Amino acid sequence: MDLATFFPFLSKSSARRKSHPKLKGNMKQEIYSQLGSFIEDGFTPYRTAEALAIEYGRDPRDKRGQFYRYLTRQLKEGDEIAKALRGVVPETDLFVLESAEQTGRLAEGFERLVFFNQQSAVLKAKMSSLFKPLAMAGAALGILYGFATGVLPGFTTMVPEDEWGAGTTSLIAMGEWLEIYTLPILLGVVVYFVVSFAMLTRLSNPIRDKYLNRFLPPWNFYQIFTSNSFLLTLGTMMESKIRLSQALPMIKEYSGPYLANHIDEMEQAVKEGATDGAAVATDLFDRESKLLLRVYGRGNQFETQVQKIAKRSMDAAMQRIDKIVEAANTAMKIVIAGIIIWIVSGIGGVVLPMISNMNMGA
């Protein structure tokens, strides 16, 4: 998955010719790591690509060999590495490589991109863990609905209603309520999430920053994801000697309206003479991240600190997500345990009177 797909705010795809190979996922990480290591050890990009094309070319099906053959052809024609990779990797990667190449620090540029992709993958994995509590909630609702509307009514026909236990009566009432309202509730939830996901990259409004991003999923999780992804991108670019005033419009070009509006705020603050840290510290970030940006921004080496801020901000985000997931998982386990107890009580409320009646009849 390339950056434009992975990061919600990189919503515009760069044009690619069909003849271009595509680097993504683990393969992109491996190739970036190889290029960075060999270049650091004194190999030129062309020598690296040529040697690896021969090695991987032993297996015609190996996509790495196909890529390195393509790269060798491009470099042989005199292209710089960033130009040779245009259309193959996301534009944001090219910004970093172009700057690193111009400053003679190409190996470091690849190392930064490897770090960036590693951190992005960790963040994505953390965000995926949020689906577990949702799955548990669906399972809990399914269990309750199945017993209250399907299993239990079959038992109640064997015992007069006035002999039902309290658990049975309440579970039957819940079943009747669920039969009426389950579909509207599910439709409402689906509509809410469909509209929310459709508007995540588009809606830009003070109400969003003050309320939606703070309290409601998926808005709050998207804000965590977007702000930390933006910081990682910015930090990688600034460590490659791309100034803030240059980096912001580059990122904005591939951003949706939500992030683009925040970048507009940052650009305006830069024009008004704000320090880099103060300019970046918009409501895109939580209170702790804004504090870090403003404090580090008072120094003269903000560009070397952004990656550190991004790491600290992401660590804090990971902890927040872990706490949310842990609390949600615990809550759902308690709910499921309560439902099971309720179901046992409901079945017992008809089975025990049934046994009692059978004993009396005997």
SS3 state at 227: helix
Residue 170 lies in a domain: yes
Residue 353 has a pLDDT of: 77
pLDDT attached to residue 93: 81
Distance between CA atoms of residues 13 and 90, nearest Å: 8
Model pLDDT for residues 182-193, shown as the tens digit of each residue: 889 889 988 988
Model confidence pLDDT, tens digit, residues 118-170: 877 877 777 777 778 888 888 888 888 888 888 888 777 787 877 888 888 89
Within-domain flag for 320: no
Predicted confidence at residue 3, as pLDDT, reads 44
Q: Which of 83, 118, 153 is the endpoint of a domain?
A: 118
Shared domain for 77 and 140, answered yes or no, is: no
Is 253 domain-assigned? yes
Residues across the chain: 362
pLDDT computed for residue 355 by the predictor: 75
pLDDT in tens, 31-65: 999 999 999 998 888 899 999 999 998 888 888 88
In this predicted model, which residue has the larger pLDDT, 122 or 85? 85
Residue environment code for 271-304, b if the CB has 16+ CB neighbours within 10 A, otherwise e: eeebbbbbbbbbbbbbeebbebbbebbeeeebbe
* pLDDT over 70 at 79, yes or no: no
**Together in a domain, 253 and 297:** yes
Task: Tell me if 92 sits within 8 A of 251, measured CB to CB.
Answer: yes
CA distance 106 to 173: 69
Do 93 and 135 share a domain, yes or no? no
Contact 292, 268 (CB under 8 A): no
Boundary of a domain, candidates 118, 146, 167: 118
Q: Looking at residue 297, what is its pLDDT?
A: 81
Mind listing the pLDDT tens digit for each residue in 191-213?
988 888 888 777 776 777 777 77
- Is the pLDDT reported for residue 326 higher than 70? yes
- State the pLDDT at residue 15: 39
Separation of alpha carbons 28 and 360, rounded Å: 76
Give the torsion sign (CA, 174, 177, 178, 184): negative
| Residue percentage of the chain with pLDDT more than 90 | 10
Are 21 and 109 found together in one domain? yes
- The pLDDT score that the predictor gives to residue 8 is 46
Task: Please report the pLDDT score of residue 266 as a whole number.
Answer: 94
- What pLDDT shows up at residue 37? 92
| Domain membership flag for residue 171 | yes
Shared domain check, 136 and 96: no
Which one of 118, 153, 171 terminates a domain? 118
> Per-residue pLDDT for 278 more than 50?
yes
In a domain, 45, yes or no: yes
Whether residues 294 and 145 fall in one domain: no
Predicted confidence at residue 360, as pLDDT, reads 65
How far is CA 14 from each of CA 22, 46, 104, rounded to the nearest angstrom?
Answer: 12, 25, 26
What average pLDDT does range 106-118 have in this prediction? 84
Would you say the C-alpha torsion 265, 270, 272, 277 has a positive or negative sign?
Answer: positive
Q: Are residues 333 and 199 in the same domain?
A: yes
Q: Answer yes or no: is pLDDT of 2 > 60.
A: no
CATH number at residue 103: 1.20.81.30
Question: CA nearest 341: which of 175, 144, 150, 134?
Answer: 144
What's the domain count of the chain? 3
Looking at residue 17, the DSSP 8-state letter turns out to be -
Confidence at residue 268, expressed as pLDDT on a 0 to 100 scale: 93
Condensed to tens digits (0 to 9), the pLDDT of residues 287-321 reads: 888 888 888 888 767 777 777 787 787 787 778 77
What rounded mean pLDDT belongs to the chain? Answer: 81
- Residue 98 within any structural domain of the chain: yes
Percent of the chain with pLDDT over 70: 91
Residue-wise DSSP of 156-225: HTTS-GGG--HHHHHHHHHHHHHHHHHHHHHHHHHHHHHHHHHHTTT---HHIIIIIHHHSTTHHHHHHH
User: Does the pTM exceed 0.75?
Assistant: no
pLDDT at residue 13 in the model = 41
Of the listed ranges 11-25, 101-115, 169-183, 316-330, the least confidently predicted one is: 11-25
Same domain, 293 and 346: no
- Looking at the fold, whether 114 and 32 belong to one and the same domain comes out as yes
- Report pLDDT for 4: 47
Identify the domain containing residue 34 by its residue range: 16-118
